[in-house]
Structure 1
Amino acid sequence: MKVIEEAKNSTEIYDFRLPAKVDRTDDESDFLTQLAETRAFRRLSDVRFLGALDYYLVTSPNQYPQNSRYTRAQHSWGVAMLAQRYLREKSLSQRDRLICLGAAMLHDIGHSAFSHTIEPAFTEFFGIDHHRVSEGIIRGEDPEFEDIRATLSNFGLDPEEIIAVLNGDDKKFDSYFSGPINFDTIEGILRSRSYIKMDTLGLSPWRVLNASYFRNEYSDQNTVDQFWGLKGEIYGLVIRSALGSYLDQLFLEIFKSQKDSISPNDFYLTESQMFKKFPILRRAFDPEFIEKFTSERFEKELAVTIRMFDVDESKDFFARCDKQRYRHRKALKRYAIPTFGG
């Protein structure tokens, strides 16, 4: 009961810049460290978490937390740390523990530079997406990234076991990979919230994880319900806001304008390498260029698929009816093209 009490009463501050240093234990740290040292994972240190939006939202990054850009590597470490905290409460074999941690650490391993922003171009031109690339990297299909497979093999794991969990075979892990309240979403939404410097309702990844796992009190229900509402705010204020949608689409269209120079292998480049190969991408932050490009390439309105998140209070939180309680809907919305910076 000691761990439970520590978790319930915890006032830990979650550091989005250094999640890897929070909660590592001796018996699993070697596995996580070896995964982090692979070429494929190190690449994520030069892939921004929110894609091109990172550059627009944080124009002058510095040492202060409120002016930080984040990477997919930091996020992946955070997801792994949530998985490790969760595993404190589970009686699982060492093999299953490593499968859980491996899936958490590698869930974003196939993201392209600028994350979701330019992935649609690769999907359109070459039929590539980060899910397919992730599976290929984990399987060791690309010789440049076969060290992931080698690391898994060193610990007696089959890559297909990791891929199966990432594809939804996670019942033994309480659906913390496929359910609406999952490690990735908990870490990612609260990380996204930190960009816009707004009140988080006292929520942290630790607090949401604890509440969603223990479910002992109505305060736990309130915490998870608040988190789901906060997810809706993030989509509405940032990811699928008028400005966010426009900037994402702007960067994508600038990239697509270089179609004749884009190859499937560019999916594996870091962002520094992308800027070097496609210098026009740096002009995506030049107001004069933006205005000219927008007038030439955009209609007066932008059609965007938005998401709305609802809590169905008739579904029992304590019975863990999460897929029925925490719902989301999609709708098509049209935004007027905003003034850059407006």
Structure 2
Amino acid sequence: MAQMHENLKFRYTLEDVVDMFVDDIIPAICVTDAFQRLKGISFLGAVERTKKHSGLRHNRFNHSIGVALLAQRYALTMEFSQAERIRVVVAALLHDIGHAPLSHSIEPLFAEKFGLNHHIATEKILQGKIALGRNLYEELLKNSLDIDFLINLMSGEDKSKFGRIFSSPINVDTIEAIWRGGSYVRKQFFNPVEVLDAFIAGNFSSGSVVDRFWNEKNSFYSLMIYSKEGVAADYWARVRVWESDKKLVPDDFYLTEKHFLSKYPADFSDKIQPTLVDIKVRNFEVDDSVDVPCYDALSTRYKIVKSKRSVLLDPPAKKEENHIQPSFFET
């Protein structure tokens, strides 16, 4: 088996995809309109734009390919049949296909106004119910893929050997995401393939690479998602839409960020004042007193502890250098 960590990259070309995947359907999906759109959807939404970090910007396109590579390694290691492997890898590749511009930063506005979220959008795209998903839908049908089965895998409802890499706390989406996130702080926390291989082998002993991964996930969320800068970026992204004289419509969900930000320019009123924002926080903790006898018990060791806190945010400044999100107001 190829050493996949050597192949995991921050950015992929179509040539990379052809070389790195064993099934022809993967490159075919990568050139569809819906998947190409992910090049214009940032990996962390507005949080992506908070700091320069290492100078890298990530998108859902590259993240999705990385997740699919990990899923392929899983399927090959588990010796799935070709049909089984294709279903698992395609589900991994398409798990983010329905994300809105600025992802989770803006999605709450669509959910509140239209009842629309990325799960619903994913179904509409995969089922060809909107124009954006038409050629992807046709590609899936051409390869006799059960779309409902793919959706069930992505949802985390399938707890079988096929679905556990989506439903488990230790899943291919999160492994790739936290590995990719290390670039923001100029540090690669761990080898993602080692985490996946430990997951497959059931190595959840104290001090294992899976323990380290879970601890680093907690650090990443603290440094990026729940930092004052990260919370501010999410909040002011929503204000950008609230303050606009343009009306939010459901079709905006399927725009790229370039077109979305052009529609909602950052024209903030001087009347905006410092704002106290309540946020929901998740901490990721390892309970070292718990042994894991089976995959279904992973959540007893790798725990998610929820809490709430308030953050005081200053109004954003459009041009101030080194402000919390210096590039956020540029289209």
Aligned to 2:150: 162
**2:59 is aligned with 1:77:** no
| Shift of residue 338, structure 1, vs aligned partner | 5.2
**2:88 is aligned with 1:132:** no
In structure 1, which of residues 170, 178, 181 is the aligned counterpart of residue 170 of structure 2? 181
Aligned to 1:56: 50
| Shift of residue 199, structure 1, vs aligned partner | 5.7
The alignment's C-alpha RMSD in Å is: 2.5
Instruction: Give the direction of change, closer, same or farther, for the CA distance of 1:243–1:34 in structure 2 (3 Å limit).
Output: same
- How far does the alpha carbon of each residue in 1:140-181 deviate from its partner, in whole angstroms, 9 at most, with x for none? 111331112211111111211101111221412261001100
Q: Residue 19 of structure 1 contacts residue 74 of structure 1 at CA under 8 Å; is this kept in 2?
A: no
- How far does the alpha carbon of each residue in 1:171-219 deviate from its partner, in whole angstroms, 9 at most, with x for none? 122610011000100011221221122462xx02222112222245858
Aligned to 1:250: 236
Separation (CA, whole Å) in 1 of partners of 2:130 and 2:71 = 27
**2:299 is aligned with 1:310:** no
Q: Residue 71 of structure 2 contacts residue 88 of structure 2 at CA under 8 Å; is this kept in 1?
A: yes
**2:314 is aligned with 1:326:** no
Stretch deviating more after TM superposition (208-217 or 125-134): 208-217
Stretch deviating more after TM superposition (253-262 or 68-77): 253-262
- How far does the alpha carbon of each residue in 1:14-71 deviate from its partner, in whole angstroms, 9 at most, with x for none? 422238738955641x111111111100000011101112222238xxxxxx311011
Structure 2 gaps of 5+ residues are: 317-322, 325-331
- How far does the alpha carbon of each residue in 1:83-141 deviate from its partner, in whole angstroms, 9 at most, with x for none? 11111212222211111011001000000111111111111111110010001111111
Q: Identity of counterpart residues, as a percentage?
A: 34
Separation (CA, whole Å) in 1 of partners of 2:5 and 2:79 = 25
Separation (CA, whole Å) in 2 of partners of 1:179 and 1:236 = 22
Separation (CA, whole Å) in 2 of partners of 1:97 and 1:41 = 20
Aligned to 1:196: 185
Aligned to 1:240: 226
Separation (CA, whole Å) in 1 of partners of 2:212 and 2:66 = 21
Separation (CA, whole Å) in 1 of partners of 2:138 and 2:215 = 41
Instruction: Give the direction of change, closer, same or farther, for the CA distance of 1:249–1:184 in structure 2 (3 Å limit).
Output: same
| Shift of residue 273, structure 1, vs aligned partner | 0.9
Partner SS state of residue 165, structure 2: coil
Separation (CA, whole Å) in 2 of partners of 1:217 and 1:248 = 34
Separation (CA, whole Å) in 2 of partners of 1:230 and 1:87 = 26
Separation (CA, whole Å) in 2 of partners of 1:36 and 1:11 = 21
Partner SS state of residue 267, structure 1: helix
Partner SS state of residue 57, structure 1: coil
Q: Indicate the structure with greater helix content.
A: 1
Instruction: Give the direction of change, closer, same or farther, for the CA distance of 1:191–1:338 in structure 2 (3 Å limit).
Output: farther
Aligned residues: 315
